[in-house]
Amino acid sequence: MEICAAALVRQCRIFNATPNEPEEFFPTLANGARTASPYQDFKLIAMGKYFWSLEKLRVISAWEQGDFGEAQIWLKVHLNRHSCLYKLVGILTLYTNWEMDKFITEIGNFINSKEVAKIVDSETIKSWQEAMNIMKAKDVMKTWESAFLIELALTRKNYTAAFMQFSQTIERLLFIKFTENRWLEKGFVTIPPEKKDLGNKYNHGFTALIKGWCNSRRIDTNDKWYKLLDRIREKRNELVHQCQSLNLYDIRRVWNDGGLFPVKLSDNPEVIRDLMFDVLQEVSSKADKVDINKLLVCNLYHWGITWISHE
C-alpha cells in the first residue's frame, strides 16, 4: 500500500498547499485595535514535481552509466509527466540487450511519433530519421551503432566488457568486409583443405578474417597493424578461455608493448576509448568511417540526459 501511495503522489495531480504569509501579521485597525491577519492565498506545489526534483538525479546517474533498466524504474512513477523519456529508455534497454532488429523498429516508431514532435525540433528529428534509414540499409552501420556499448562499458569502468565488445565489433566489421568485398573469391581468404567440402558454409574465424584484411590491404605479418589486430585477438581469447579480466594498464599494453604504438600514460578511460575507435576506423573502409558522436544511439543517449537535466 505504501508503494502504491508513493506512486500515486508522483503521478496524479496532488498538491501541497502552502499559505502565503501576509505582509503584516497583526495590523492595527482604524479604531486602534489590533487583529491577526488571515492567510489570503496559497502556494500550490505539485507533489510529483517535488519528488521529480529529487529523483531525476537518480535517473541521470543511471542513464549516464547506461543502466537504462534502472532509469526506467525511476521514470515509471513519473510516467504521466515524462512518458516520452520512459519510452525512450525502454527502447535503449533493447539496444543494450543487442536486440538490434527490435530496437530499429521501436526507435523508428518513437522518432516518428507525435509525442516526440511536440518536444523535439524538426531539424533534430530529421537527423535522427536519416541516421535510422542508413542503419536499416547498411549492416556496417548497425555494427557501428553497437560500438557505443564500448563507451558505456568504459563509463562504468568495466574494462573487460569494453574490450570484449571492442574485439567483437572488429570481428563483425571484418566479416562484413569479407562478405561484401568477396574476399573468398579474390583469394584473400582460403578454406582449409580439410574443410573444402563445406564450401561457403565454412565459418571463417577471427584469425582468417584478420589475415584476409591484411591481404586485401597488401599488409604482411611484420606490419604493426597486423601485430595489433593479432594481439587483440589473442587477448580476447585469453579472456574467454582462461576467464581473465582486464584493467586500463592491461589494455594499454596491447598497444604499447615493444613500442608497437605509443600510448600516453593516463588513468582516463577516454584515452582507451580513442585507441579503440581508431582501430575500428582503420578496419573500416573509407566510405564507412564515421563520427561516433553523430551515430543515432549516441545522439539519443545525450539528448535524453540533456532533456532530463533541464526538466
Are residues 104 and 8 part of one domain? Answer: yes
165 domain residue, yes or no: yes
| Host domain of residue 205 | 148-294
pLDDT at position 58: 87
33 domain residue, yes or no: no
36 domain residue, yes or no: no
Cell numbers for 217, please give them.
Answer: 590491404
Dihedral angle, C-alpha 70, 79, 130, 105, nearest 10 °? 80
Are residues 271 and 166 part of one domain? Answer: yes
Residue 111's nearest CA partner among 81, 84, 149, 139 is: 84
- 36: phi then psi, degrees, rounded to nearest 5: -85, 140
Are residues 72 and 15 part of one domain? Answer: yes
- Cell numbers 509525442 label which residue? 115
- DSSP 3-state helix, strand, coil percentages of the chain (rounded to 5)? 70, 5, 25
Are residues 216 and 186 part of one domain? Answer: yes
The Cα-based distances of 75 to 78, 85, 94, 116, 223 in angstroms read 5, 8, 17, 17, 51
User: Taking all residues of the chain, what is their mean pLDDT, rounded to a whole number?
Assistant: 83
35 domain residue, yes or no: no
Rounded to an integer, what distance in angstroms lies between the CA atom of residue 213 and that of residue 174?
7
Cell numbers for 304, please give them.
Answer: 535524453
- The per-residue pLDDT for range 131-186, each reduced to its tens digit, is 999 888 888 888 999 889 999 999 999 999 999 999 999 999 999 999 899 998 89
30 domain residue, yes or no: no
- The per-residue pLDDT for range 171-221, each reduced to its tens digit, is 999 999 998 999 988 989 888 877 676 666 667 889 999 999 999 999 999
Q: Is the separation of the CB atoms in 280 and 147 below 8 Å? A: yes
Rounded to an integer, what distance in angstroms lies between the CA atom of residue 20 and that of residue 40?
7
Are residues 255 and 158 part of one domain? Answer: yes
pLDDT at 20 over 80: no
pLDDT at 36 over 80: no
Helix (H) or strand (E) holding 187: none
pLDDT at 311 over 90: no
Are residues 117 and 168 part of one domain? Answer: no
Number of folded domains that form the chain: 2
Cell numbers for 90, please give them.
Answer: 525502454
- Of the listed ranges 6-10, 179-183, 257-261, the least confidently predicted one is 6-10
Are residues 89 and 10 part of one domain? Answer: yes
> Residue 213 class from Cβ within 10 Å (0-12 exposed, 13-18 middle, 19+ buried)?
buried
157 domain residue, yes or no: yes
Rounded to an integer, what distance in angstroms lies between the CA atom of residue 122 and that of residue 105?
20
299 domain residue, yes or no: no
- For helices 68-76 and 47-64, give the axis angle rounded to 10 degrees: 180
Are residues 90 and 134 part of one domain? Answer: yes
pLDDT at 75 over 50: yes
Are residues 288 and 152 part of one domain? Answer: yes
- The per-residue pLDDT for range 269-302, each reduced to its tens digit, is 889 999 999 999 999 877 666 777 788 999 999 9
The arithmetic mean of pLDDT across residues 32-40, rounded, is 63
